Structure 1
């Protein structure tokens, strides 16, 4: 759903840039409370994983594909404020290095793909975990539903932005119907990826899942010969899987997905590209400012072998994103420590 330059006019693009800047400023402050010695090292990895999985377009309908947006996954794993920052880092890397998503449309993309998906997903997730039984399965189910709903929400926000600043005269009713319809299908893929990932992390280190903190299940203790209810953590924090092993495993998985599996991703246009072509939204699309980047279109310039070119670009993207994301989150974490000492 990366919006290119030219889809949205300058005033609305500027307005969304202000919204995005404000949201990032708020998220930087909020992330200080979310990031600790457990989540700070993982936040950069989450950004890199989202980058990698976004390269894996999956077919959703005839001639149409979809890919992970990542807001729900990031919010549940590392917190909503940190989640906004994770997806924003990914979008920034994609726009600058890979010519994916317009630079003048960066505010639109952050508002739509980072803010909307994270806010909607985490609100739905928190609402569900309050009413569902407090089990690992309920967290996974809530993750699935939250991710599913976040994608059509983003499609709806894009339609709203297009109604305010679209550069072509097309039927908004047709745009809304097409966008929401195809992104409901994409949302199923988003939900499956999110639930599987959250479930996998919970299985080995539930204490590292931000959305699972404070969730407890009833255990029975024998006191004076009688069984009574007792509160215990969902899983013991002393899991055999260390944070370092989890981080290394996640990074290796991201590199494999971006460097190898991405070659087998669907080549069909994604939901927004398909709707834009069918409805005429792309009539005034502009060439990307970074179209001559050595990594434009997720390939390495002067590398003729398509498999090698795409794989190298994916590996570079994961590496750059994990370094940039980790740097940002460690700085935020350090700032939290400095602020606490000053207080």
Structure 2
């Protein structure tokens, strides 16, 4: 049986030309905004990490893992990149990876590149970061440990993957070029990407946990979210 890869790399012809152009414009605008914000937020010590994140995601996206019989998936990387280098830089990293993969390796269609960037780079990074932010604040001090960050990363990556799949469903609803019903597409994408999200979550958890143990000062999520002070500590300091 031939394995089918379903992790968001949309090929040419799945959505029509007007929809491809629409989300091409969304991708250009979104990455442009991220580039402006990255210039303001990326410091010198995080630049090497951003390069390593892009290289790591590029390499790991080339490796598929089984999801169901005959179906495989691969890392999207949005939550992983956002936790380590921030959502703006993370989206740029994944955007660059997707462009290289599409133009040099024919992994994802050229006309669908804008939609793929919208789903995997923009939605994946920002949804993953939003979930990570909420999970970190809910975890409190426990989220400030490598183990706690691994749990935060797992949750963020799993939910971010489903959000990216939802982006595909919306694009198909707007301009799907095939004759498959939207309910069938939605059921398939959500069902498979919940499972892909588990794999994504495990990879993200291991990776962010390892970085947190070796270089906790480089974790964007920790650096930019102030640690909450307990009420008891606040009373003592007062």
Relative to the length of structure 1, the TM-score reads: 0.62
Q: Does 1:67 align with 2:77?
A: no
Question: Which residue does the alignment assign to 2:16?
Answer: 9
Q: Distance in 2 between matches of 1:10 and 1:76?
A: 34
Q: Does 1:164 align with 2:174?
A: yes
Q: Distance in 2 between matches of 1:15 and 1:229?
A: 56
Question: Which residue does the alignment assign to 1:142?
Answer: 152
Matched position secondary structure for 2:110: coil
Select 1:184's aligned residue among 178, 194, 208. 194
Matched position secondary structure for 2:44: coil
Distance 1:65 1:32, change over 3 A: same
C-alpha deviation, 1:215, in angstroms: 5.0
1:151-180, Cα deviation, whole Å (9 max, x unpaired): 111111101100111111111111100110
Gaps of 5+ in 1: 219-227, 231-343
Question: Which residue does the alignment assign to 2:107?
Answer: 100
1:188-223, Cα deviation, whole Å (9 max, x unpaired): 0000000110000000100011111155488xxxxx
Gaps of 5+ in 2: 1-7, 230-234
Question: Which residue does the alignment assign to 1:111?
Answer: 118
CA contact (8 A) 1:139 1:212 kept: no
Q: Distance in 2 between matches of 1:77 and 1:9?
A: 35
C-alpha deviation, 1:83, in angstroms: 0.6
Matched position secondary structure for 1:127: helix
1:45-94, Cα deviation, whole Å (9 max, x unpaired): 11010010111111111111110001111100001000110000000000
Q: For structure 1, which segment, 10-19 or 38-47, has the greater mean C-alpha deviation from structure 2 after superposition? A: 38-47
Question: Which residue does the alignment assign to 2:56?
Answer: 49
Q: Distance in 1 between matches of 2:19 and 2:88?
A: 24
Q: Distance in 1 between matches of 2:205 and 2:38?
A: 23
C-alpha deviation, 1:41, in angstroms: 1.5
Question: Which residue does the alignment assign to 1:35?
Answer: 42
Question: Which residue does the alignment assign to 1:200?
Answer: 210
Select 1:23's aligned residue among 24, 27, 30. 30
CA contact (8 A) 2:140 2:227 kept: no
Select 2:89's aligned residue among 82, 101, 115. 82
C-alpha deviation, 1:44, in angstroms: 1.3
Distance 1:131 1:5, change over 3 A: same
1:18-57, Cα deviation, whole Å (9 max, x unpaired): 1001101110111112211111121111101001011111
Q: Which has the higher contact order (CA 8 A, sep 6+)?
A: 1
Q: Which stretches of structure 1, 4 residues or longer, exceed 4 Å deviation after superposition?
A: 214-218
Relative to the length of structure 2, the TM-score reads: 0.89
Structure with more of its chain in helix, by fraction: 2
